[in-house]
Structure 1
């Protein structure tokens, strides 16, 4: 193990630098412990090896590999001019040349490169930019007389824009050859789209690609905690002008701020995800590709951008800066005052010992002022451990042959506006579990909310579900350690999912009535959970998982086993869960968040 770990650290150092790698490993050990850190380091390197094999297999750089895409471009109804906007300041010559050459190498010819130099003091910058502008008329350059930082420089570059769409590119990053061609394809295919974003990866000084981020489709919940839109972000030029371009004072998070203001103006339906790696983010010292802590002003700007965006529609919401133990923006939504009532419906399955443990934990670990409990299903437990006041809050519906009918009776008999359906296998251990769920459930756009479900060993059992074409699902992030963050933070960040496990969920009473509640006939695997979530989504509301709300399941939930797809299903586009990228694997071991062999989408689809 030590030999393998040493080799893994050496590999990481070759990609990101020795000092950076040592700091990262030390922080990982501090946060997750030695044993878990070792496992994660080896897993990261194994994933890197897998990604290199994936690149070799599915992203060949031979010129003839791009001919199908060239042929498709000739069939497009429109070929928009795409303006690539780049602010520049004292960029090292080799990085600046590399960036420009990556644009010159695009197989899509209808572009212009709009560069604003922010009064660089290094003489090579002007010489190099003048030389490139002389060589290709599509390269436009403005030299600012005074340094104004990145927002001012970006706005100067925007003044050069003559295209229909703007693609934002950092001065030291790279575009793969097919990037703008695929963007043009998606613009043509989505005429209502005004904002487009792609997947991305990182690239070292040695040209080694790593750490691909195969992103979910557009998620209004995730975007306020993590700017997954960048990179590659492409904006309708008219939309950027409508919102006034980049805002001074938001330096370091100017892209996130611009995006949020554009979404506010255009709406969520205007955002289109391109599930292909179309951007290579340089891993160099001082880059936020490595550590946003290197630019503390960027952290402050990110908090301000999100707070300003949320303040337009929400009151009582606080935004907290990333910290060592939670390296993401944290959004805390306030509950109404007084808090709404919740009817917690515990589904009993005939095991009084299990039911007893569930009810005990519920009353011990629920820090929420207004709730009552109803038990549906067989129950002969005495509940004598409850105080008189707590016992008065519990009712038992008795044994019913029809669980759906019994649920309906209990729900219609109560007067609470919100329902929490909870399996008797669930154990509560975090006092704020219900408050965290309710803070999301009270939002009009949200239809159903669920917690992160942990196993008895502390590892994650499920953070939402990944749906399959047969109506069943796989548990997301299963096996992640109690201190792990999962795939790009998704095990700890509130986000939208296609379905939630039925072991614990919260929703409005009106949602239950509109959707007809749980279909008890759909009992195979997670089928009833997927069915309910789909009916909720059909009402125009979302399904949201809240990892800050934690519950435990005392054993593998046997009556909700998962199903695995066949090889044929893996290639079926209908199996695409919007929030699980088609470049990520679905195998017989589950949803691995590893590169898929083969991807469920073609290279240029």
Structure 2
């Protein structure tokens, strides 16, 4: 490993700990280059001499970093001889097993070009806090969170092929470098080490020098310009940017499918919210009547089917959510399908633009929305798979302003599954995986199964906080509490467990150190093995 430690402003104690963290590595094959301003020479030399004296793996370069930091970084990069390159800051302290775990990942996956690890923070009292147990590779999360922050290792030849650090000063140079590398390599060449390998010391001076929101904006603009994707990057009320992907002109037709039975007041609120709120213009609505008998509902159906953009379909069979929606798709004229429960109410005017723009991306399968209960608590912010619960809604019942683990409520990201209470998918992708399973999953888990079929077919599913909808959840037909419903639910749960055992046991959007209930709470003891323990024992 070639490790570059760049120093602008630092505290001697933190710098010493960063160097000691490297010196204490149980994996010995590394070289360290420390890049520092000449103005730090007197303070820095004492720490360097004390820790690195006589160690040929350590060297330092003095450079006027403030004049051109990226040029200094690239100059140091050219001198790196290791197979993999790591850039550290003076407040990043490696744990003793860090390089060993990264090296193990490289040996197990020799094709790998980029590796990232988990991290936590050290507070002012040097107490560990704020662990970030990251998901496996999550390309849409990466557009908001630099997953390679903390400890990221890149194949040195790939870094140099990407031309090293940007020569543009107004970008986040670490995130920009990671983006340019990711643009050049397949997702299969990216690995996540699910262990905390680095502590990040909270230092006010260093926090002030972190990339600001404008730098992140410029970094994203440069990324999408290189990819020739004409996105809109929109301001939000937090530190992240809302990336809206393009929609063709003319707009593709969207088919909104809404099953219903006798819940005329719910359906009326749903349809009126679509009509009054939605800014996307090219859509049709297919209302599927499942054996309604209420005279008021039947009269309302007669009224709404007079509207040119609404089609009323009759499904005269016992309730089977999967079959109802599969049948409706056969009558849908749109290129994009929206599955929508009748107990929903649109909040954000651009909800369709948001869902459709993602659904049209070639790499994306199903797209889910941010769903709230009527009291504004979170009902759905993506679905987590876990053997304790099979599937659970992320951040369920948390308040609307809740930020989530490492802000995961505040930006779009990939999940293994999203709920079909409000789901978008291209019709061609829906048909390619044979839609919902109406034989084995008539009511429950058919949306989970459908999403996992899309993953199996090579797509990423996505959840976005920028399409907001109220959802009463199971008001339409009630919960599965009587004996017959409970037996059916167990049968469907067992089918899903058998069909998708590996996915449920190892959700790439979650982490083995996090519980199934409550979600995002820590497992004690940790759920991942510590392979470096055997390595250390073998050295003694």
For Structure 1 versus Structure 2, the TM-score category normalised by the shorter chain is 0.7 to 0.9
What is the match of residue 345 of structure 2? 427
Q: Does 1:449 align with 2:367?
A: yes
- Kept in 2, the 8 Å contact 1:247–1:254? The answer is yes
SS in 2 for 1:397: strand
What is the match of residue 63 of structure 1? none
Q: Distance in 1 between matches of 2:480 and 2:227?
A: 38
| 1:396 counterpart (312, 335, 342) | 312
Q: Does 1:138 align with 2:57?
A: yes
In the TM superposition, 1:163-202 aligns within 5 A as 163-202=82-121
**Are the structure 2 counterparts of residues 250 and 190 from structure 1 closer, same or farther at C-alpha, using a change threshold of 3 Å?**
farther
How far residue 547 of structure 1 moved from its aligned partner, in angstroms, is 1.1
Structure 1 window deviating more from structure 2 (327-336 vs 546-555): it is: 327-336
In the TM superposition, 1:265-284 aligns within 5 A as 265-284=184-203
**Are the structure 2 counterparts of residues 137 and 523 from structure 1 closer, same or farther at C-alpha, using a change threshold of 3 Å?**
same
How far residue 223 of structure 1 moved from its aligned partner, in angstroms, is 0.9
How far residue 346 of structure 1 moved from its aligned partner, in angstroms, is 0.3
Q: Distance in 1 between matches of 2:18 and 2:6?
A: 12
In the TM superposition, 1:524-603 aligns within 5 A as 526-556=444-474, 558-559=478-479, 575-587=505-517, 590-591=518-519, 593-603=520-530
How far residue 130 of structure 1 moved from its aligned partner, in angstroms, is 4.6
In the TM superposition, 1:43-192 aligns within 5 A as 82-121=1-40, 123-144=42-63, 147-192=66-111
**Are the structure 2 counterparts of residues 272 and 604 from structure 1 closer, same or farther at C-alpha, using a change threshold of 3 Å?**
same
Q: Distance in 2 between matches of 1:429 and 1:422?
A: 14
Q: Distance in 2 between matches of 1:354 and 1:147?
A: 61
Q: Which runs of 5+ in 1 are unaligned?
A: 1-81, 289-293
Q: Distance in 2 between matches of 1:91 and 1:111?
A: 23
- Kept in 1, the 8 Å contact 2:251–2:282? The answer is yes
- Kept in 2, the 8 Å contact 1:216–1:581? The answer is yes
- Kept in 1, the 8 Å contact 2:213–2:240? The answer is no
Q: Distance in 2 between matches of 1:408 and 1:134?
A: 71
What is the number of equivalent residue pairs in this alignment? 511
How far residue 170 of structure 1 moved from its aligned partner, in angstroms, is 0.6
Could you report, residue by residue, the CA deviation over 1:275-306 in whole angstroms, capped at 9, with x for unpaired residues? Answer: 11111111011333xxxxx3486433322221
SS in 1 for 2:119: strand
**Are the structure 2 counterparts of residues 285 and 556 from structure 1 closer, same or farther at C-alpha, using a change threshold of 3 Å?**
farther
Structure 1 window deviating more from structure 2 (82-91 vs 536-545): it is: 82-91
Could you report, residue by residue, the CA deviation over 1:139-182 in whole angstroms, capped at 9, with x for unpaired residues? Answer: 12122267434323322332331211112211232111111111
Q: Which runs of 5+ in 2 are unaligned?
A: 482-488, 533-540
Q: Does 1:319 align with 2:237?
A: no
Q: Distance in 2 between matches of 1:149 and 1:91?
A: 18
How far residue 440 of structure 1 moved from its aligned partner, in angstroms, is 0.7
- Kept in 2, the 8 Å contact 1:142–1:156? The answer is no
| 1:418 counterpart (329, 333, 336) | 336
**Are the structure 2 counterparts of residues 267 and 118 from structure 1 closer, same or farther at C-alpha, using a change threshold of 3 Å?**
farther
Structure 1 window deviating more from structure 2 (374-383 vs 92-101): it is: 374-383
- Kept in 1, the 8 Å contact 2:291–2:317? The answer is no
**Are the structure 2 counterparts of residues 388 and 543 from structure 1 closer, same or farther at C-alpha, using a change threshold of 3 Å?**
closer
**Are the structure 2 counterparts of residues 519 and 254 from structure 1 closer, same or farther at C-alpha, using a change threshold of 3 Å?**
same
- Kept in 1, the 8 Å contact 2:513–2:526? The answer is yes
How far residue 84 of structure 1 moved from its aligned partner, in angstroms, is 1.6
TM-score (norm 1): 0.78
Q: Which has the higher contact order (CA 8 A, sep 6+)?
A: 2
What is the match of residue 378 of structure 1? 291
In the TM superposition, 1:504-543 aligns within 5 A as 504-523=422-441, 526-543=444-461
SS in 2 for 1:485: coil
**Are the structure 2 counterparts of residues 193 and 145 from structure 1 closer, same or farther at C-alpha, using a change threshold of 3 Å?**
same
How far residue 247 of structure 1 moved from its aligned partner, in angstroms, is 1.1
**Are the structure 2 counterparts of residues 542 and 147 from structure 1 closer, same or farther at C-alpha, using a change threshold of 3 Å?**
closer
- Kept in 1, the 8 Å contact 2:367–2:425? The answer is yes
Q: Distance in 1 between matches of 2:32 and 2:480?
A: 54
Q: Distance in 1 between matches of 2:213 and 2:316?
A: 55
Q: Does 1:301 align with 2:215?
A: yes
Could you report, residue by residue, the CA deviation over 1:13-45 in whole angstroms, capped at 9, with x for unpaired residues? Answer: xxxxxxxxxxxxxxxxxxxxxxxxxxxxxxxxx
- Kept in 1, the 8 Å contact 2:385–2:503? The answer is no
How far residue 436 of structure 1 moved from its aligned partner, in angstroms, is 1.1
Aligned Cα RMSD in Å? 2.9
Q: Does 1:234 align with 2:153?
A: yes
How far residue 134 of structure 1 moved from its aligned partner, in angstroms, is 3.0
Q: Does 1:224 align with 2:143?
A: yes
Could you report, residue by residue, the CA deviation over 1:499-546 in whole angstroms, capped at 9, with x for unpaired residues? Answer: 111211111111121111111334488521111001111221111111
What is the match of residue 367 of structure 1? 279
| 2:380 counterpart (435, 443, 462) | 462
How far residue 249 of structure 1 moved from its aligned partner, in angstroms, is 2.4
Structure 1 window deviating more from structure 2 (132-141 vs 142-151): it is: 142-151
Q: Distance in 2 between matches of 1:198 and 1:483?
A: 28
**Are the structure 2 counterparts of residues 250 and 576 from structure 1 closer, same or farther at C-alpha, using a change threshold of 3 Å?**
farther
How far residue 594 of structure 1 moved from its aligned partner, in angstroms, is 1.7
Could you report, residue by residue, the CA deviation over 1:365-391 in whole angstroms, capped at 9, with x for unpaired residues? Answer: 222101111122234525759988972
| 2:419 counterpart (481, 501, 510) | 501
Could you report, residue by residue, the CA deviation over 1:546-565 in whole angstroms, capped at 9, with x for unpaired residues? Answer: 11001111245645899999
